[in-house]
Structure 1
Amino acid sequence: MSSGCVLTARNGRMICYALRSFSTATPCAADKHYKLLVVGGGTGGCAAASKFASKFGKGHVGIIEPNETHYYQPMWTLVGAGIKRVESSARPMSSCLPRKADWIKCKALSFDPESCKVTCTNGDVISYDYLVVGMGLQLDYHKIKGLPEAFSQDPAVCSNYNRNYVMKTYPALQNFEGGNAIFSFPNTPIKCAGAPQKIMYLAEDYWNRTGKRDKANIMYNTSLGVIFGVKKYADSLLKIVEERNIKVNYKRNLIEVRPDKREAVFQKLDSETVETETFSYNFLHVVPPMSAPDVLKESSLVDQTGYMDVNKFTLQHVRYPNIFGIGDCTNVPTSKTAAAVAAQSGILRKNLGAFIDGRPLPVLEYDGYTSCPLVTGYGKCIMAEFDFNGQPLETFPIDQSKPRRSMYHMKKDVMPELYWKFLIRGNWEGPATYRKLMRFGMGNILKPSAVHQT
């Protein structure tokens, strides 16, 4: 009898049962079946696995994740500014995954949602009853001509989005002696849409403190038509760039880096023809185009944009009800941040748990909450929090659009501890409850409501 999987309806749910192979060969991972399989050991994957490993017990949850090290990537902005060390952003993957779950150390090669199977690059086939996909985003540096080679050829080219390239940022800040300092924002969704600006504000502050600011022509070349997607915070940022004499060039998308000439070529997205604009640079911070991982894009789990197709309120897949998504790899229309994952983890816990128990969805709906701590200098931060509609959804009873030292310490000192000790352990689901308490019961928290469609 061959190994396979059958979908059976029960209480309105589709449950996947593995058909065991009656082979005399030594059992291997290809024969392994899990009640819950999680693909991805990043923020969302760790949080989801931790929640359900405790619920199901040892051996019933599997996690497909090839990397030996887990990184708290939001710290890399501070690493690039010389505030933190990159080593502080890392933990062994074994210490981040739940002990009651099985760690499958390989990459996912393909998805077969009809048969409830995931094939790994080592040939193993893992079957499941329920699947959670939290694969994050891949960095597509190669889509910019001249990259990634320029990182090794020019010490003035850096990027806070990669563990190795972020190590170049602070030395590049230190070695800068004047000229054009360019900071880019690509023409794709990215992790933390505020991060391309954060390092710019920190760089400007650093050069001001070291007496080099008057020699710097700082430019923010963004593919977007606005400096930030939420007006309240955009207004504050526009005041900052004006006060600091930072030039913002909208609708500019980086398409080529020429390290031998120190030139950066940008496509002018607001032109009817394919026009480009070339800038010389003495410092260049690159934010690469990003996308869902190729293996996910090649599966039937994605929509026409290449992101996992889930109901934005419940996180349940729109075509495969026993599959849920979390985090950056989904098409949920909110900013892709660790804060969004935290809020989504609570939605996932409630809705997947209800689905497993045969109860109707939604039990709880996601309102799009996300947060972006916009560091505006050494010791200053705007704590942006907002929902699906771009409306502020602030936790503290203060105006969070103002740069504050208290919010800087939240970003620098509190959030890393919250991440390591609570979020990836499945014990932090965002600040909704605290928001209500701090606003004396008048805050906006997630509430059960009628089903919405994506």
Structure 2
Amino acid sequence: MSIAPLDERHAGESQPALDAPTATYDIVVIGGGLAGITVTSSLLRRTRNLSIAIVEPNDEHFYQPAWTLVGGGAFDVKKTRRSMASVIPAGATWLRTAATRVEPQANRVRLANGETLAYGQLIVATGLRLAWERIAGLEATLGKNGVTSNYRYDLAPYTWQLVQQMKGGTALFTQPGMPIKCAGAPQKAMYLACDHWRRSGVLSKVKVEFDLAGAVLFGVATFVPPLMEYVKRYDAKLAFSSNLVAVDGPSRTATFETKDANGNTARVEKRFDMIHVVPPQVAPDFIRESQLADEAGWCEVDHATLQHPRYPNVFSLGDVCSAPNAKTGAAARKQAVIVAENLLAARAGKPLSYRYDGYGSCPLTVERGKVVLAEFGYGGKLLPTFPLDPTRPRRLMWFLKATVLPRFYWSGMLKGREWFTGACADRTQR
């Protein structure tokens, strides 16, 4: 077995003993979220006789895109959760434990239960980690004292509770530095809350502020004007370059680190009656510390083929991969086709003929009943699925977001049904 050269950042590390693996698989998939389940289903639909292990410690699988709707009172949170056993593809082996170390130079994965897996090919689909601890005091007050977040299953209903109870006061909404999963979710929470307050006749009594660590409202400039119309409608204040660093729940005080045009930083305290927090987000520690990581800690991939540049038998997709696309479920849906096709091509010694264009989708719920469907790829290139003006808020897109996509998620994407993936269009040669 040939040993790939070590990345310079890990060259000084001692190498682990190559003890006998507990089991060997054609393919090991780390992660049982949307990316891991979908790519496994896509592989097995193409080649049934593959031995594939999915490493996933959680007993439940969640449809996370609906949590924004839950926080806006438009979706039942219980419908976003199913057992992991019910979504594992037939033909795959589910290992109910966590991966703790990847040794790509030895084609092995070490598990929390003490076992070691050997693989022919590896797919890294771990998702990312919500780094709640990076905001001082936050973990101690989540779910009480008016502090909430739609980024957690148990907290999204609390968001809706707070929104309903709010009759006046200050409501803060925050967004950390990029990248984060679903970059539009922080402002979607604000829009749905404001729309409820508007319909309830109390919006004029609520001081709404959106604190963003970045300098723009949305990363694709085409969609900023229609979003700004809603910011004005709701009379929301935008505070750019304002990053949440601490929360004191009992005193209802949030501390932000701000930066002015000259780069000078300062700390500002703001009182709140409710605050919707989006935590900083990072790659899982065992990926950040592995030889697979890029400088920022994400699993490094070629942005087109999604193959690792130093370990050709490793592919990655979903939130953990380093491709500079929006980290959305829609992105993983298209990436699954790219990885499935290119991985099988690599197994057969053929060229990797599928190319990922950076597609991602963000259904921006600007009010209850209307959505701006932002679909775009690398460089902010618009990639609309429908022949309609993508900047216009539409009831049709709300129906898509609230009714069609949840059903398609459980019965389509997770089953490897590749509708609207543009798979044929992505093939450059075969």
* Band the TM-score falls in, shorter-chain normalisation: over 0.9
Q: CA deviation at 1:54?
A: 4.1
Q: Percent identity among equivalent residues?
A: 37
In the superposition, the TM-score normalised over structure 2's length comes to 0.93
Q: CA deviation at 1:432?
A: 3.0
Residue identity matched to 1:448? T
2:114 to 117, 123, 136: 123
The answer to whether residue 171 in structure 2 is matched with residue 181 in structure 1 is yes
Pairs within 5 Å for 1:219-258 = 219-258=209-248
The answer to whether residue 94 in structure 2 is matched with residue 114 in structure 1 is no
The change in CA–CA distance for 1:198 and 1:360 in structure 2 (over 3 A counts) is same
Q: CA deviation at 1:168?
A: 1.1
Q: CA deviation at 1:260?
A: 1.9
Which whole-Å deviations, capped at 9, do the CAs of 1:178-235 have from their partners, x for residues lacking one? 1111110002311100000111110001011112111111111111111101111111
Q: Distance between the aligned counterparts of 2:347 and 2:19, measured in 1? A: 22
Tell me whether 388-397 or 239-248 shows the greater mean CA deviation.
Answer: 239-248
Asked if 2 retains the 8 angstrom alpha-carbon contact of 1:339 and 1:430, the reply is no
2:160 to 170, 191, 198: 170
4+ residue runs of structure 1 moved beyond 6 angstroms?
none
The change in CA–CA distance for 1:253 and 1:304 in structure 2 (over 3 A counts) is same
3-state SS in 2 of match to 1:417: helix
Q: CA deviation at 1:152?
A: 4.4
In structure 2, the partner of 1:83 is: 74
1:194 to 165, 184, 187: 184
Q: CA deviation at 1:86?
A: 1.1
The answer to whether residue 388 in structure 2 is matched with residue 398 in structure 1 is yes
Residue identity matched to 1:334? N
Q: CA deviation at 1:388?
A: 0.2
* Contiguous gaps of at least 5 residues in structure 1: 1-5, 10-18, 22-29, 437-444
Tell me whether 58-67 or 292-301 shows the greater mean CA deviation.
Answer: 58-67
3-state SS in 2 of match to 1:50: helix
2:141 to 121, 133, 150: 150
Which whole-Å deviations, capped at 9, do the CAs of 1:404-431 have from their partners, x for residues lacking one? 1000000000111111111111112644
Q: CA deviation at 1:242?
A: 1.7
3-state SS in 2 of match to 1:275: strand
Q: Distance between the aligned counterparts of 2:355 and 2:303, measured in 1? A: 8
Residue identity matched to 2:76? R
In structure 1, the partner of 2:43 is: 52
Pairs within 5 Å for 1:255-274 = 255-270=245-260, 272-274=263-265
Pairs within 5 Å for 1:36-435 = 36-57=27-48, 60-154=51-145, 156-270=146-260, 272-361=263-352, 363-428=353-418, 430-432=420-422
Q: CA deviation at 1:55?
A: 4.2
Q: Distance between the aligned counterparts of 2:426 and 2:208, measured in 1? A: 41
The answer to whether residue 428 in structure 2 is matched with residue 448 in structure 1 is yes
Q: Distance between the aligned counterparts of 1:295 and 1:36, measured in 2? A: 19
Q: Distance between the aligned counterparts of 1:311 and 1:356, measured in 2? A: 17
3-state SS in 2 of match to 1:424: helix
Q: CA deviation at 1:377?
A: 0.9
Q: Distance between the aligned counterparts of 1:210 and 1:238, measured in 2? A: 22
Alignment size in residue pairs: 416
Q: Distance between the aligned counterparts of 2:222 and 2:144, measured in 1? A: 40
Tell me whether 166-175 or 271-280 shows the greater mean CA deviation.
Answer: 271-280
Q: CA deviation at 1:345?
A: 1.0
Q: CA deviation at 1:20?
A: 9.6
Residue identity matched to 1:206? H
Asked if 2 retains the 8 angstrom alpha-carbon contact of 1:47 and 1:425, the reply is yes
Q: CA deviation at 1:343?
A: 1.0
Residue identity matched to 1:404? R
Residue identity matched to 2:426? L
Residue identity matched to 2:286? V
Q: CA deviation at 1:175?
A: 1.3
Tell me whether 348-357 or 125-134 shows the greater mean CA deviation.
Answer: 348-357
Which whole-Å deviations, capped at 9, do the CAs of 1:319-352 have from their partners, x for residues lacking one? 1000000110011001000000011111112211
Residue identity matched to 2:208? I
Q: Distance between the aligned counterparts of 1:431 and 1:35, measured in 2? A: 26
Q: CA deviation at 1:146?
A: 0.8
The change in CA–CA distance for 1:86 and 1:181 in structure 2 (over 3 A counts) is same
Which whole-Å deviations, capped at 9, do the CAs of 1:96-122 have from their partners, x for residues lacking one? 111201000000010000110000011
Q: CA deviation at 1:57?
A: 3.6
Q: CA deviation at 1:58?
A: 5.8
Q: CA deviation at 1:273?
A: 3.5
The change in CA–CA distance for 1:189 and 1:20 in structure 2 (over 3 A counts) is closer
The change in CA–CA distance for 1:139 and 1:97 in structure 2 (over 3 A counts) is same
Q: Distance between the aligned counterparts of 2:363 and 2:275, measured in 1? A: 23
Residue identity matched to 1:250? F
Q: CA deviation at 1:400?
A: 1.4
Q: CA deviation at 1:292?
A: 0.7
* Contiguous gaps of at least 5 residues in structure 2: 5-17
Which whole-Å deviations, capped at 9, do the CAs of 1:33-83 have from their partners, x for residues lacking one? 000110000011001111223444467110000000000100100111111
In the superposition, the TM-score normalised over structure 1's length comes to 0.88
